[in-house]
Structure 1
């Protein structure tokens, strides 16, 4: 095949998203005779899409230099943008900064050039990484109108996406989501390069997940899956990062085997030397799946890999420690994580785990967990995402149930279960079902409790959530299960102390309650156990194993 035929073949393959063929054909032509700058950029994009970091960087340097020497400043700045991003993906942040400085000097020679906006996009990205959200928005306000006729499609889409991310980061969630949706529509209409399309998918889906906008994230994830399926050669860093986002959504949707497979692929892809900075996210998602499935040793190893790649392993690691009986370490870890985290949406990731871990303390759990549940409810009210309201209701119901207020726990739990089912998040819906069952049991409705627990068990068994299956089987009445307790977790604590001969004053001091609250709990205990004295309550508790079961838990 002659040189011209190879180039034509490479161009056609790139248009068909056949990246390996495009890379091979254009690479062979370039080895025989240097490509012109347009084809050199196309070869660099093919290398980028295949995860060939070093080649992509070398090709973009050549294209940048050729454009700059020819006086094509705008085209050089476009190459400089992708070059800086490729270097950053490869962990070469100093070199990326050096090329950004070089591009700024070139831009100063033609200040009216539209492509100068590419450098502003890089500046905004640096502010975002540093958590400088105010400066991020200030920089975005210097960007030109993305919809201006004749604007480079990649620049237009990238500008809209970046503006949306800046608005979201500064609390203007509704306006920011509208911009992100607009960027996705621009991608869907075509004309945007493949690497820009991958970048926008990753940023938009990631932002939606951060905001707990699960419906949006699921919708765009389905579109991403179709786009990726059309180009099986796409194995670059954005493909790996897209996989990380997809894993989280597959996990929420209950497709755990698919999620595990995608997580392992993402880990392998992002540790191949291109995009390793994002590998921690892949290992974290893999660790979460291992934890939920009861594969605790594998989970611990994956959390360590998460930390090795510079990512925070919380709240998952604290929940793993709790599952392994290391409650004090879990409590210290989640408290530390909350103390270090100020941004509300990031705190919203930690607060549900904080409630669960703090409630594991039989003495102080409800008192300490209540502020975390209240904060989560406030975040849900301010941001409005359905998943946030589900999380807040679940946390509030768990706290009320643990505090002996089963009747008051049921409304937020019922609402949380409804919202999780609407979002098609079966695992969380089943966890809420367990709490509903326990609340029904505390109110003496054992028939409903059994149905709720059985329904939750079936979901856990289908998902492969072995620790939850074991727990529900322990809770369920019947052969092999303990006799149901009519008492709430807090009432079990009170009756345990009654059985030890503690006075109301001593119980109040140990559980950090008022004596009036203790008296109310004791009155409820007498009613539920159908006894009239503390001695009879203690005898009933010992006889029916209530005290022993509570202590062993």
Structure 2
């Protein structure tokens, strides 16, 4: 129930996620999931109340259980203006990561440290987090972290690197239908100087034309003599530029906008 709720949350289907989390009211992941929904809606106080209560309930000596929510706790505490608490939680996560030496926790610790650092210092921390999430096989976390890396890169003036990470993140997030993160990616793409909505390249228009005809990525690859990976990348870029989260939506938008 909690896993399905988390999937719906990542897809931006918050009402469904709330219902599913309610079925497992006292499960730590359900509490964390509801806190994430509060965070996404801008209700930082409620998110912090939920996370603080969860951490108070989890014993200090249960390092692994606490570590599962510490990164989120840092994010929420920072958003709620609890900067000192955020730093304490980041320090705890870093200590647990150092003790366990698992890729996933070390990645989370680096990402948490980056949240509390200026952009120039955050970039190497986020690069490390992306690398470790990749090593751990956590594709969603890797893509999600690439968005924050792109944001930090933009703040330091490196638009080229930011665009590269946005493209890689969008490719994964599109496949997962992670609408909330895709919206974040679109905002960053605009700041990174990506072409305006509808500013498709000639190749992207070719791909979009075949998408609108209902062809799958393998079929498009054969038709245009491209690799499936390249087609997937083009589709991801098309979705970002058109501000859409599905192939059907992109095709419909393109037809209405006269792009085909």
Query: Please, what TM-score do these two structures have when normalized by structure 2?
Result: 0.69
1:294 aligned counterpart, secondary structure = coil
Aligned: 1:311 with 2:45 = no
Q: For residues 404-443 of structure 1, what are the structure 2 equivalents within 5 Å? A: 405-443=118-156
Match of 2:70 among 335, 341, 351: 351
Instruction: Note if contact 2:150-2:188 (Cα within 8 Å) is conserved in structure 1.
Output: no
Match of 1:399 among 112, 116, 119: 116
Specify the alignment match of 2:168 in structure 1: 455
Instruction: Note if contact 1:430-1:456 (Cα within 8 Å) is conserved in structure 2.
Output: yes
Deviation at 1:384? 1.8
Instruction: Note if contact 1:434-1:453 (Cα within 8 Å) is conserved in structure 2.
Output: yes
Instruction: Note if contact 2:119-2:156 (Cα within 8 Å) is conserved in structure 1.
Output: yes
Match of 2:18 among 300, 304, 307: 300
Deviation at 1:303? 0.6
Supply the distance in 2 between the matched residues of 1:311 and 1:336 (Cα, whole angstroms).
13
Deviation at 1:398? 2.0
Supply the distance in 2 between the matched residues of 1:436 and 1:365 (Cα, whole angstroms).
23
Q: Which has the higher contact order (CA 8 A, sep 6+)?
A: 2
Supply the distance in 1 between the matched residues of 2:154 and 2:42 (Cα, whole angstroms).
25
Instruction: Note if contact 2:170-2:182 (Cα within 8 Å) is conserved in structure 1.
Output: yes
Instruction: Note if contact 1:440-1:448 (Cα within 8 Å) is conserved in structure 2.
Output: yes
Residue by residue, what CA displacement relative to the aligned partner does 1:299-327 show, whole Å, maximum 9, x if unpaired? 000011112xx534221111112122322
Supply the distance in 2 between the matched residues of 1:410 and 1:471 (Cα, whole angstroms).
18
Aligned: 1:374 with 2:124 = no
Specify the alignment match of 1:383 in structure 2: 100
Deviation at 1:454? 2.4
2:24 aligned counterpart, secondary structure = helix
Instruction: Note if contact 2:123-2:149 (Cα within 8 Å) is conserved in structure 1.
Output: yes
Aligned: 1:327 with 2:44 = yes
Instruction: Note if contact 1:315-1:349 (Cα within 8 Å) is conserved in structure 2.
Output: no
Mind listing any 5+ residue stretches in structure 1 that lack a counterpart? 1-282, 481-553
Instruction: Note if contact 1:351-1:376 (Cα within 8 Å) is conserved in structure 2.
Output: yes
Deviation at 1:441? 0.9
Structure having the higher Rg: 1
Supply the distance in 2 between the matched residues of 1:304 and 1:340 (Cα, whole angstroms).
18
Deviation at 1:354? 0.7
Supply the distance in 2 between the matched residues of 1:365 and 1:442 (Cα, whole angstroms).
23
Supply the distance in 1 between the matched residues of 2:34 and 2:127 (Cα, whole angstroms).
29
Residue by residue, what CA displacement relative to the aligned partner does 1:132-160 show, whole Å, maximum 9, x if unpaired? xxxxxxxxxxxxxxxxxxxxxxxxxxxxx
Deviation at 1:369? 1.7
Instruction: Note if contact 2:129-2:145 (Cα within 8 Å) is conserved in structure 1.
Output: yes
Deviation at 1:438? 1.2
2:116 aligned counterpart, secondary structure = helix
Residue by residue, what CA displacement relative to the aligned partner does 1:222-279 show, whole Å, maximum 9, x if unpaired? xxxxxxxxxxxxxxxxxxxxxxxxxxxxxxxxxxxxxxxxxxxxxxxxxxxxxxxxxx
Deviation at 1:476? 1.3
Q: For residues 19-418 of structure 1, what are the structure 2 equivalents within 5 Å? A: 283-307=1-25, 311-312=27-28, 313-342=30-59, 343-361=62-80, 364=81, 366-400=83-117, 405-418=118-131
Match of 1:445 among 158, 162, 170: 158
Distance 1:292 1:367, change over 3 A: same
Q: How many residues align?
A: 191
1:476 aligned counterpart, secondary structure = helix
Distance 1:458 1:365, change over 3 A: farther
Residue by residue, what CA displacement relative to the aligned partner does 1:337-362 show, whole Å, maximum 9, x if unpaired? 1112121111101111111212324x
Instruction: Note if contact 2:103-2:135 (Cα within 8 Å) is conserved in structure 1.
Output: no
Specify the alignment match of 1:265 in structure 2: none
List, as ranges, runs of 4+ consecutive aligned residues in structure 1 with deviation greater than 6 Å. none
Mind listing any 5+ residue stretches in structure 2 that lack a counterpart? 198-260
Supply the distance in 2 between the matched residues of 1:365 and 1:457 (Cα, whole angstroms).
31
Distance 1:366 1:430, change over 3 A: farther
Supply the distance in 2 between the matched residues of 1:314 and 1:349 (Cα, whole angstroms).
12
